[in-house]
Structure 1
Amino acid sequence: MRNTYLFTSESVSEGHPDKVSDQISDAIVDLFLAKDSEARVACETMTTTQLVVLAGEIRGKGIMDTDGNWAEGVAEEVEATVRQTVKDIGYEQKGFHWETLRFENNLHPQSAHIAQGVDAGDDKDEGAGDQGIMFGYASDETPDLMPATLDYSHKILERMATDRKSGKAPFLEPDAKSQVTLRYANERPVEATAIVVSTQHAPGYFFHKGEGDAVKYGELRDYVKGVIADILPAELLTENTVYHINPTGCFEIGGPDGDAGLTGRKIIVDTYGGASPHGGGAFSGKDPTKVDRSAAYVTRYLAKNIVAAGLARRCTIQLSYAIGVAEPLSIYVDLHGTGTVEESRLEAVIPELVKLTPKGIRTHLGLNKPIYLHTAAYGHFGRVAEGDLFPWERTDLVDQLKAALTA
C-alpha cells in the first residue's frame, strides 16, 4: 500500500449539458413512476442549442399502449416536465431557454422480447433487465463514507448553485465544473494540492476587447475561494494549495448552447470519482428494474453498512447479472486490507440479509417511487435528504451484519 500519493476527482454542476440531460431523463422516470409504480422506463436525452430530444423505450399503465399511443394528456405532461426541469436548473438564455427551446419526443413502447425476460424470470421472480456488473464502494475518509476528493468537488458546486438561486451570487450562471486533488499519507487526506473551478458567469467578469477596465474577475475569484474555504476542512488548505479559477478566462457561453449533452456521460461523477471500479452502466433515465441502477444502489448500501459497522475502513462490492435471470451470478467483496473479518464470510452473509434479485432490491430499498430527479446532480451517493430520497444511504443493516457474523 502506497504511503504518499495524489488523487483527484471531478464534479459537474446541474447546469452542465450532460447533467441537464440526466435530470430531464430522471424527471421523466419520476413522472411515469408516479403514474405506475411498475412502469418500465429507458429514457435518453440529448440537449444542444435550443433543442431537447427524448428517445427510448417505455411501458406502463396510463402512459402508453403497446402500439405506441399515448394516454390522454400524457405527451403534453412529458413536454411540460422537460421545460419545468430546464427552468428549475435556471436556463433562460438566448442559446437555451426553457420556454422557447424546440422539443422532440421519440419515446416508444418497450421491446416485447426485453419485457418477457424481465417479467418472467427464474422461479417466478422478475429477471434482471440486462446482463452486467455493478460496483458499490464506501470509505471512512468523510462522515458521508465517500472519497474525500469527490465529496468536496460535489459540495463546492452544490453550494454555488444554492447561492446562485438564492441571489447571493447573482453573477453565476448554471454551468460549472470542479476538481479537487488531495495528497494522501497512510490512506488519509492531509493536504489539498490543487483545486479547479470553472463556472459560467454573467457578462463583464473578464476582459473583453474594447471594454477597457470593466473587469470583475477578482470578485468571482474571491467568491469561489470563499466557497472552497467553507467546504474543505481548514487543515487541508495550506500555502501550497494551488487554485485554478476559470483558468481559460471568459466563460459566458455554457450549458447545452456551449456543448451538446447526453444522458449517462458522467458515470464516474455520479459514483465514486474514480476511487472504485465502475461497471459501465449509467443510472439516469432507467427505472429500478434495471440492475444498472438498482444493483449499483444496493452495493453502495451494503458497502456503506460494512464500513459503518466498523468491519473495514474501505469496502468494494461487485454483483453480476444475466438478462432474464433473477439471482446474481456472483458476489465479490474486497476490504482492501482494512477489514476485521474475512471477505468470504461477508460474501456468504450478505445474501442472507438482503435478497439480491431485482425485485428483492426494489422491495428492500423501496425504489418504486418517484425519487430519481434528486439523484441526477451532485452524485447518487454520500447524500441524505428529507423524505428518504436516498434510501441506499441508510445504515440500518449495521446491527444485523454484526449479529450474523457472530452467529
Structure 2
Amino acid sequence: MTRTSFIFTSESVSEGHPDKVADQISDAVVDLFLSKDPQARVACETLTTTNRVILAGEVRGLGMIDSEGNWAEGAQEEIQTVVRQAVKRIGYEQDGFHWQNLHFENHLHPQSAHIAQGVDASGNKDEGAGDQGIMFGYATDETPDYMPATLYYSHKILERMATDRHSGAAPFLEPDAKSQVTLQYENEVPVRAMALVVSTQHAVDYCLPWENTKADGTVESGGDAAKYKTLRDYVMGVFNDVLPAGFITDDTVIHVNPTGRFEIGGPDGDAGVTGRKIIVDTYGGASPHGGGAFSGKDPTKVDRSAAYITRYLAKNIVAAGLAKRCTIQLSYAIGVAEPLSIHVDLHGTGTVAEARIEAILADSAKLGFALTPRGIRTRLGLNKPIYQRSAAYGHFGRTPDDEGGFSWERLDLVDTLRGAI
C-alpha cells in the first residue's frame, strides 16, 4: 500500500560544484560539435581538479574531425576556448582554479568505427540506439513544474544564490554550494519543511571564529562572527523567499555551513567528474534512475534522449489529468531502433489503466511519433547546441526557450493523449 504521509529529502548542487563544472564543460563540447554538424557524435568525459581540466572520449563531426579521423584546422583551439569560457561563466577566478590559468588537456579521439556501424542508419536499417539501457521519466502535480517539491526547492535555493552572486547582490558567495530540503508530506501533499541545509563556499572570514594549531606549534586563526551572521541571514532570507509561506516553522531544523569554514571549494577542494550527479539531474530520488548520465553525450545516445522523452511523456500525462503521478520506463538495445519495452506506473493515481497508456505510447500513429532514437530527436528537436544550459540546476522542471532548449518540458502532447484515450 502506498504511504500517504511521510518525510522525504532531496539535494541539489550549484553550477560551481566540481562535478557540475565537469558536466557543463562536457556539454559545452557537445554544443560546439552540434553547432558545426547537427549529426555530430560526441561522448565527452571531463575531469576537473586543482587548476586542471582533462577531456577524454570519442567524437565525430564535420568541421571538427575530417574524413580521415584527423582534427580539422583550429578545432582543438576552439575546444579549449569553450572549456575556458564555461569555467569563466561559472565564475572561477581563484588561485586554485582559474579559467585563464588552468592547465588543459584534450584526449578526445575519433569515434570507434564499430560503434558507428551499429548505430548509424544504412540501407533499410533505421538508426539504432547508441547503447543498451533503461531510462525513466517522472512527473508529479505537487509543484507548478511537475517536479518533486524537495528537489524543486533545492534547485530554486541555489539558483537564487547564483543569481545574487553573479549580480553582486551577495558578494560574499563563491561558486561552490550544496542545498538539501526535507519536507513533511500529508496525504501525499508537501505541507512543511522539516530540515533545510545550505553549505556554500564563501569569501575569507565569512564563518565563525576558528583556531588551528599547526604541526610546528604555531597557531593560525580566522573567521568573523559578524560576517558569518551576514551570510546566515542572507541564506535565511533565500529560504523564506523560495519556500511557500508557512513551510518554515519554529520546528524546522536549519543548517548553514554546518562544518564551519568553506573557503576552498570547487575543483580545488575536490575533483569533479562528468556524470556523478545523476539524481540531482533528474528527480532527487523520487523516481527510479536507469543509471546513465546525460552530460557529454549527443542526442543519439538514448541515455540522454530517451530520458528526455520519458519525462516529456510523463509530464504530459499528468498535465492531461490522466494521473497525479507518473513514472515511465523505456529500454533499448544498442543498434536497435525500437524500444524493447514500455512500462507505465501511475502510482495508484490514474484515471485510466496503465496498460491503456502503454498501448498508446507503443502506437506511433496514435502518439504522433515513434519512440526510436530518430523519432525522439525529431519530435524534440534535439540536434541543436542546447545542452550546456541544462547541465546545472536539473535537466527537468525548466522552461522551454526560443532556441529549442528544454523542449522536453513542453505540454504540446496533452490534447493528443486525451484524444487517444
Q: TM-score, normalised by structure 1?
A: 0.98
Q: Shift of the alpha carbon at 1:235?
A: 2.2
Q: Tell me: CA distance 1:385–1:327, structure 2 relative to 1, closer, same or farther (3 Å).
A: closer
- CA distance in structure 2 between the aligned counterparts of 1:121 and 1:8, rounded to whole angstroms: 47
- CA distance in structure 2 between the aligned counterparts of 1:212 and 1:263, rounded to whole angstroms: 34
What does residue range 1-400 of structure 1 map to in structure 2 within 5 Å? 1-65=2-66, 67-120=68-121, 123-206=124-207, 207-209=209-211, 210-211=221-222, 215-351=226-362, 352=364, 353=367, 354-387=369-402, 388-400=404-416
For the 8 Å contact 2:204–2:223, the answer to whether it is kept is no
Q: Deviations over 1:235-287 (max 9, x none)?
A: 21111111100000010000000000000000000000000000000000000
Q: Shift of the alpha carbon at 1:234?
A: 1.0
Q: Which runs of 5+ in 1 are unaligned?
A: none
Q: Shift of the alpha carbon at 1:211?
A: 4.2
- CA distance in structure 2 between the aligned counterparts of 1:123 and 1:224, rounded to whole angstroms: 58
Q: Deviations over 1:374-403 (max 9, x none)?
A: 100000000004323100000100001000
2:395 partner amino acid:
H
- CA distance in structure 2 between the aligned counterparts of 1:289 and 1:174, rounded to whole angstroms: 32
- CA distance in structure 1 between the aligned counterparts of 2:104 and 2:420, rounded to whole angstroms: 53
2:230 partner amino acid:
E
Secondary structure of 1:377's match? coil
Q: TM-score, normalised by structure 2?
A: 0.94
1:403 partner amino acid:
G
- CA distance in structure 1 between the aligned counterparts of 2:182 and 2:348, rounded to whole angstroms: 24
1:11 partner amino acid:
S
Q: Deviations over 1:158-200 (max 9, x none)?
A: 0000000000000000000000000111111011000000000
Tell me the matched-pair count.
405
For the 8 Å contact 2:199–2:258, the answer to whether it is kept is yes
Alignment correspondent of 2:420: 404
Q: Which runs of 5+ in 2 are unaligned?
A: 212-220
For the 8 Å contact 1:67–1:109, the answer to whether it is kept is no
For the 8 Å contact 1:191–1:237, the answer to whether it is kept is yes
Secondary structure of 2:236's match? helix
Q: Shift of the alpha carbon at 1:64?
A: 1.1
Q: Shift of the alpha carbon at 1:61?
A: 1.0
1:35 partner amino acid:
K
- CA distance in structure 1 between the aligned counterparts of 2:337 and 2:5, rounded to whole angstroms: 43
- CA distance in structure 2 between the aligned counterparts of 1:215 and 1:17, rounded to whole angstroms: 29
Q: Shift of the alpha carbon at 1:213?
A: 5.2
- CA distance in structure 2 between the aligned counterparts of 1:350 and 1:308, rounded to whole angstroms: 16
Q: Shift of the alpha carbon at 1:46?
A: 0.1
Q: Deviations over 1:356-376 (max 9, x none)?
A: 000000000000000000100
For the 8 Å contact 2:45–2:57, the answer to whether it is kept is yes
- Could you tell me the percent identity over the aligned residues? 75
Q: Tell me: CA distance 1:382–1:92, structure 2 relative to 1, closer, same or farther (3 Å).
A: same
- CA distance in structure 1 between the aligned counterparts of 2:79 and 2:120, rounded to whole angstroms: 26
For the 8 Å contact 2:14–2:177, the answer to whether it is kept is yes
- CA distance in structure 2 between the aligned counterparts of 1:367 and 1:381, rounded to whole angstroms: 15
Q: Deviations over 1:325-376 (max 9, x none)?
A: 0000000000000000010000011133131000000000000000000100
Give me the CA root mean square deviation.
Answer: 1.2
Q: Tell me: CA distance 1:179–1:212, structure 2 relative to 1, closer, same or farther (3 Å).
A: closer
